[in-house]
């Protein structure tokens, strides 16, 4: 539990790699904010594989289940009494899913605020602004070359923008800005997140020394890994290693 207020609670939820979270629902509405990892989200409105900046809103009683991918999954959940937030702001559908784009970017900012902001009024105001913004006209689906670049970057986080642009047959000076607009994060941010995801899984699920994990995950050295973890997660690799005590109860896939 990160924060607990009179009508809301904020918690960090961590799932190990290749685990299945059984179907469940909540008594209050819940907003789930992506932090790192990948997972298959299954709800009454369909299935969606999620692996980047995103948010999912579940109304009270909306049933859902998750199956995590090879790097595990970390999220921030905000569960709240509708009267604490303001009922007019609640989305009407039982499940709302926002992936990438402006809302994905705002979800990243809100997840950070949940981990650093201790003032109830400011955090509630940030949640209200997020839901108001997310309710605006949805953005179009990103072009197919965006997923091509993301896949190549996951395969090799050391690739340069010129290499990625060539893969997508696009001009390098244009690719970076369009990618950020479509996904909610820049190319360098995505590369850093992929390295952190790989290292976090090893930290949480193996006993390998930190120096070996840093090299395996694509960092220059352990110091580079430490700095990147602080920037992406706001925590040190040593703190991430302790997360194994807090894995959510799941079933193996």
Q: Are 224 and 218 in contact (CB under 8 A)?
A: no
Average pLDDT, the chain: 94
> Which pLDDT band holds residue 206 (cuts at 50, 70, 90)?
very high
For residue 143, give the 3-state DSSP assignment.
coil
Which pLDDT score is estimated for 92? 93
d(CA 55, CA 106): 9
For residue 218, give the 3-state DSSP assignment.
coil
Q: State yes or no: pLDDT of 101 exceeds 80.
A: yes
> Which pLDDT band holds residue 36 (cuts at 50, 70, 90)?
very high
CATH number given to 144-246: 1.10.10.60
Which pLDDT score is estimated for 68? 97
Which pLDDT score is estimated for 122? 96
Interval 158-169 mean pLDDT: 90
Q: State yes or no: pLDDT of 60 exceeds 90.
A: yes
Instruction: Give CATH 1.10.10.60 domain extents, the chain.
Output: 144-246
Which pLDDT score is estimated for 207? 96
Q: State yes or no: pLDDT of 251 exceeds 80.
A: no
Interval 145-165 mean pLDDT: 93
Dump pLDDT digits (tens) for 227-249. 999 999 999 999 999 998 888 87
Q: Enumerate residues 6+ apart whose C-beta is below 8 A from 119.
A: none
Interval 126-141 mean pLDDT: 88
d(CA 119, CA 85): 14
Q: State yes or no: pLDDT of 168 exceeds 90.
A: no
Interval 114-135 mean pLDDT: 95
Q: State yes or no: pLDDT of 167 exceeds 80.
A: yes
Residue pointed to by tokens 């590369």: 191
Percent of the chain with pLDDT over 70: 99
Instruction: Give CATH 2.60.120.280 domain extents, the chain.
Output: 3-134
Q: Enumerate residues 6+ apart whose C-beta is below 8 A from 212.
A: none
Q: State yes or no: pLDDT of 124 exceeds 80.
A: yes
Topology of domain 3-134, CATH: Jelly Rolls (2.60.120)
Interval 119-128 mean pLDDT: 96
Q: State yes or no: pLDDT of 84 exceeds 80.
A: yes
The DSSP 8-state label assigned to residue 139 in this structure reads: P
> Which pLDDT band holds residue 19 (cuts at 50, 70, 90)?
very high
Q: What is the largest CA-CA distance in the chain?
A: 53
């Amino acid at each position: 539990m990160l924060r607990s207020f009179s009508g809301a609670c904020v918690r960090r939820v961590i799932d190990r790699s290749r685990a299945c979270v059984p179907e469940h629902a909540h008594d209050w509405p819940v907003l789930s904010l992506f932090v790192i990892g990948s997972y298959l989200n299954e709800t009454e409105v369909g299935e969606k594989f999620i692996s980047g900046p995103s948010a999912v809103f579940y109304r009270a009683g909306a049933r859902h289940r998750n199956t995590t991918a090879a790097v595990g999954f970390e999220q921030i959940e905000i569960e709240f009494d509708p009267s604490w937030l303001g009922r007019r702001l609640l989305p009407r559908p039982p499940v709302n899913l926002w992936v990438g784009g402006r809302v994905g970017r705002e979800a990243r900012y809100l997840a950070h605020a949940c981990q650093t902001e201790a003032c109830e009024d400011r955090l509630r105001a940030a949640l209200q602004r997020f839901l108001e913004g997310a309710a605006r006209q949805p953005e179009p689906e990103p072009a197919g070359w965006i997923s091509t670049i993301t896949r190549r970057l996951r395969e090799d986080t050391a690739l340069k923008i010129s290499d990625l642009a060539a893969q997508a047959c696009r001009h390098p000076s244009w690719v970076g800005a369009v990618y950020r607009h479509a996904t909610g994060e820049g190319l360098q941010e995505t590369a850093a997140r992929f390295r952190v995801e790989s290292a976090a899984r090893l930290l949480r699920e193996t006993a390998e020394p930190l120096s070996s994990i840093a090299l395996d995950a694509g960092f220059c050295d352990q110091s580079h890994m430490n700095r990147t973890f602080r920037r992406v997660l706001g925590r040190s690799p040593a703190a991430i290693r302790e997360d194994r005590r807090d894995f959510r109860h799941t079933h193996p896939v």
